[in-house]
Structure 1
């Protein structure tokens, strides 16, 4: 309900391919036209994330152990890697309070730094507390799953202030990067793959009906950005075009896996192949983790590790420490060394015909992978 105001919705830009330019290069150049001022990390981003090892069953000691072992495989001290703590550190419904498994998140950040890594933290900005007033909550969306979760109304100033407080708190604790998740799902009540004939259920609305969906999302993203200061921000389950120029990194797809290769192939290899034109044009395009576990064949993970490490895009590894033999440690050490340096963005050469691109141009050489 715009009332009397006029809404500037879009600027139309066009692009034509140059002589002998590949479609991929044309698309990448077009992304630069669409986003003339991306906000990018000062150096390539790489490191570890604990999610695909423990899936939330983490603790101060598990993060300490992961960081200790994996930091021993880092060779580039001019670009330190990140150790990202995923879901599991917080009270179930309050992302400003640490739970008993961690006790002190400032101390956790200092512990990570003592091993030569940079601390990162996962959060879900729109989750509500069980004791929140009903007036702060988003209207229930028909058909939405996970009905036990309470979601804050993103159009309320009180919600935005809470988001700002939490992001500022993580900076005070000493974290260098924050990964915020679930906001698109929490706002619309659907995952992207469910948005077949509409973004959300009919009749849905928020408290402030004078703002469009994009304005509501932009207001949330800008609040996160302003509160973060010089911390890097990874958007996860965020709107790509609204993240461009705002967040340093953005997850390009759904979760990969530490349990099944088929999911990593679908959500990692496929998504990286078709979203790399966004890398360093919109943001650093995060293809998600290498779930390095006994449940995923090493011959597949070795290739996924190599592709991420040599693509120029961010590399994050979730590794089961007890399976790290000499071969895997050597591969991780090389991958970290590659990912730490600036490289040309990888280009899939068969992306117009293959759902999971197998032929790639990486560092000016052609590499063929076997994903089957």
Structure 2
């Protein structure tokens, strides 16, 4: 069902649609997230005011029924489920104010529904539904696996350290298999530690790995032209964030500055580029702060004739074009429902940790399990890295490594020097070999917990079940 909007003389903020459908009292409900998840995905009983971004599913009487909007929508879609029906909100604001369409008709969204089959597994139902939402995903030509320095270096990285990472993953990749990536994360802007980025990509390739780079394209410098920036009002009352200057991509010169960051990364010879922070910089909030609304009221982009979703899509399309056809693009802090079909991979959860296992358990396992239906339907899911550090017990890290490797999602390791001995090297060899074989592993207890422990891979006589004891010592109730 297509939803269109015409409002030649009004500034419209939202469109609301309602379907009267009776739901049994024992119905379970699942929703997605605006951008990354924050350990907060899961099935719950009916909570009428609960915001369910992009798509939702109900499980009742042994069947899983799904409702959503097709990817690439021109509005930000939010669902609600209650005992008497289903509500869909389409946010068509420009910034935090109504869009001014003028004579233009907006094709706001296409509503898609799928009736589940009784006895069908929840994961199969959700995976089939996600495939129906995105008919043309853009998938990489080979496995996305390798290294990223963030979770051991945390910005204190160096060119020599990156080459060491490249040597490690290249030596452990399966013979004759896909080449692994060696991704440089934040910190490369330091000219003393990274004097020549083009030379670094050449060194990485000489190691037998493929070079990759993290960028933050919307970040603006303090000495730049203030007329190119987004207004501070997008942060609402969070005045401590006013220092985070960002380009307004509806201003041509500002958009060009953002895209040039991507072009520069490609000119240096990178085969993969990971772009980050754009949702926060555009809308002034993190996904777990948004609730039913991605941004505060009372501000607007320079161009008020386009919706937030249209502005994001235009930015993503520009980044895609700037990257070229051969470069693998990973979005981080991006809106997956708008990135689908444009980027090969997408970070689906908030950061794990190389210091605190609880953060990896809470953020990583949750997003791997609940956004796995998006894998290869929207893009390759990146549930975040596998940090191998001295601060986190190896027996815990090994579980996370194994789960990621078997899932068929991106497998990126962050290996601290001195924390990788022979046991870790052998586990990495095994994990890379599994990942290169295009495996499929799914959670069996998705309805029962926020961090599924029981996973199944393969089928028939070759089926294998694994149980991961994520919370053997309990979980922390505190903020992390």
**What TM-score do you get using the length of structure 2 for normalisation?**
0.74
Q: How far, CA to CA, are the matches of 1:133 and 1:163 in structure 2?
A: 14
Q: How far, CA to CA, are the matches of 1:153 and 1:13 in structure 2?
A: 32
Q: Secondary structure at the match of 2:111?
A: coil
Residues 136 and 153 of structure 1 are in contact (CA less than 8 Å); yes or no, is this contact kept in structure 2?
A: yes
The equivalent position to 2:242 in structure 1, one of 137, 147, 159, is 147
**Cα RMSD after superposing both structures:** 1.3
The equivalent position to 2:306 in structure 1, one of 185, 202, 211, is 211
Q: Secondary structure at the match of 2:218?
A: coil
Residues 217 and 259 of structure 2 are in contact (CA less than 8 Å); yes or no, is this contact kept in structure 1?
A: no
| Rg comparison, structure with higher value | 2
Match of 2:29 in 1: none
Residues 163 and 223 of structure 1 are in contact (CA less than 8 Å); yes or no, is this contact kept in structure 2?
A: no
Q: Secondary structure at the match of 2:355?
A: coil
Match of 1:136 in 2: 228
Q: How far, CA to CA, are the matches of 1:178 and 1:234 in structure 2?
A: 6
Cα offset for 1:19? 5.3
Residues 76 and 340 of structure 1 are in contact (CA less than 8 Å); yes or no, is this contact kept in structure 2?
A: no
Please give the residue correspondences for 1:60-139 in structure 2 after superposition, counting only pairs within 5 Å.
Answer: 60-90=159-189, 99-139=191-231
Match of 1:291 in 2: 387
1:195-217 Cα shifts (integer Å, max 9, x gaps): 12522222121111111000110
User: 5+ unaligned residues in a row in structure 2: which ranges?
Assistant: 1-99, 472-480
The equivalent position to 2:124 in structure 1, one of 18, 25, 31, is 25
Q: How far, CA to CA, are the matches of 1:187 and 1:205 in structure 2?
A: 11
Match of 1:362 in 2: 457
Match of 2:318 in 1: 223
Q: Secondary structure at the match of 1:11?
A: strand
Q: How far, CA to CA, are the matches of 1:72 and 1:108 in structure 2?
A: 18
1:142-192 Cα shifts (integer Å, max 9, x gaps): 333443221111211112212222212211111000000000000010000
Q: Secondary structure at the match of 1:253?
A: coil
2:132 is the alignment partner of 1:37: no
Q: How far, CA to CA, are the matches of 1:262 and 1:127 in structure 2?
A: 30
Q: How far, CA to CA, are the matches of 1:306 and 1:225 in structure 2?
A: 32
Residues 124 and 181 of structure 1 are in contact (CA less than 8 Å); yes or no, is this contact kept in structure 2?
A: yes
2:274 is the alignment partner of 1:182: no
Higher strand share: 2
Q: Secondary structure at the match of 1:318?
A: strand
2:258 is the alignment partner of 1:163: yes
Residues 229 and 247 of structure 2 are in contact (CA less than 8 Å); yes or no, is this contact kept in structure 1?
A: yes
Q: How far, CA to CA, are the matches of 2:194 and 2:437 in structure 1?
A: 33
1:213-252 Cα shifts (integer Å, max 9, x gaps): 0011001000000111110100000111101111000001
The equivalent position to 1:53 in structure 2, one of 134, 146, 152, is 152
Cα offset for 1:278? 0.2
User: 5+ unaligned residues in a row in structure 1: which ranges?
Assistant: 92-98
Cα offset for 1:25? 0.2
1:78-110 Cα shifts (integer Å, max 9, x gaps): 30000010001126xxxxxxx221111110101
Match of 1:274 in 2: 370
Q: How far, CA to CA, are the matches of 1:107 and 1:29 in structure 2?
A: 44
> Which deviates more from structure 2 when the two are superposed, residues 64-73 or residues 31-40?
64-73
Q: Secondary structure at the match of 2:106?
A: coil
**What TM-score do you get using the length of structure 1 for normalisation?**
0.95
